Amino acid sequence: MTTPSDNLTRRRLLMALPLAGAGVAGVAFWKMLDGMEHGSFNPHDINAPVLDRPVPDFTLAPLPPAEGFTTQDLQQVSKPVLVNFFASWCIPCLAEMPTLMTLKDKLTMWGIAYKDKPDNAASFLRHSGNPFSRLGSDHDGRAGIEWGISGVPETFLVGAGGVIRWHTAAPLTEETIGKVLLPLVHRLQTP
């Protein structure tokens, strides 16, 4: 037979267990949200697998007047190259262009016009300024799929030997460049 004090203990336990459970779940959720806010956790991060892997095999059509590039060209780079997917129909890309222009002197940038008519891409670059030293056209989006992009703009940092070191599926901002991208470029260049 249970004594009143047994009953009391059990009641306390029954109260404490759900409370403890809720507490643990609360802390877990708080950490998750905190991570999402500071960029350490992103449940929608699609391109995670490309990091620290060699650049994929892809082919681009030329986009005059700039020189085109191939997988082999990226495999032979000795200094980091920023590969940016853009399109003339993409408003965030248009908004991103001034930021890319400020990077022009600090970092080599190669551009890929994703699912865009070469004429439109060329006129887009005439109007917004062209930060890219090499350009290619991915008219049917196949190269984009090889790189694992889900939209534009998306940006990859390719290190020496053609290894993908960094990726973002969001437009580059001054903040990302100053806090993440340039420090990483600096680390990659100092052995």
Partner 1 sequence: MTLHRKLAACMLGLCLMAAPALVLAVDDPSEMLADPQQEARAQAIGAQLRCLVCQNESIEDSSAGLARDLRRVVREHVAKGEDNKQVMDWMVSRYGNFIRLKPAFSAGTLLLWAMPVLALLLGVGTAFLFYRRRANAAPPPPLNEEEKARLARLTKD
Q: Which residues sit at the interface with partner 1, rule CB under 8 A?
A: 1, 44-50, 56, 115, 140-142, 144-148, 150-151
Q: Which ranges of 70-157 would DSSP assign to H, the alpha helix?
A: 71-75, 91-103, 118-128, 142-147
Query: Residue 176 Cβ, how far from partner 1 at the closest point, in Å?
Result: 21
Which CB, 82 or 152, lies closer to partner 1? 152
Which CB, 36 or 145, lies closer to partner 1? 145
Query: Residue 1 Cβ, how far from partner 1 at the closest point, in Å?
Result: 6
What is the C-alpha separation between 168 and 190, in angstroms, rounded? 23
The residues, ordered by sequence, that sit 6+ positions from 78 with a Cβ below 8 Å of its Cβ are 160
Which CB, 47 or 173, lies closer to partner 1? 47
Q: Which amino acid is at 189?
A: Q
Which CB, 53 or 127, lies closer to partner 1? 53
Query: Residue 57 Cβ, how far from partner 1 at the closest point, in Å?
Result: 11
CB distance 152 to 114 below 8 Å: yes
Query: Residue 98 Cβ, how far from partner 1 at the closest point, in Å?
Result: 26
Q: Which residues of 11-24 are buried (b: 16+ CB within 10 A; e: fewer)?
A: eeeeeeeeeeeeee
Which CB, 109 or 152, lies closer to partner 1? 152
What is the C-alpha separation between 154 and 171, in angstroms, rounded? 7
Query: Residue 96 Cβ, how far from partner 1 at the closest point, in Å?
Result: 19
What is the C-alpha separation between 132 and 125, in angstroms, rounded? 9
Which CB, 157 or 177, lies closer to partner 1? 157
CB distance 47 to 39 below 8 Å: no
Query: Residue 17 Cβ, how far from partner 1 at the closest point, in Å?
Result: 11
Which residue, 93, 66, 81, is CA-closest to 149?
A: 93
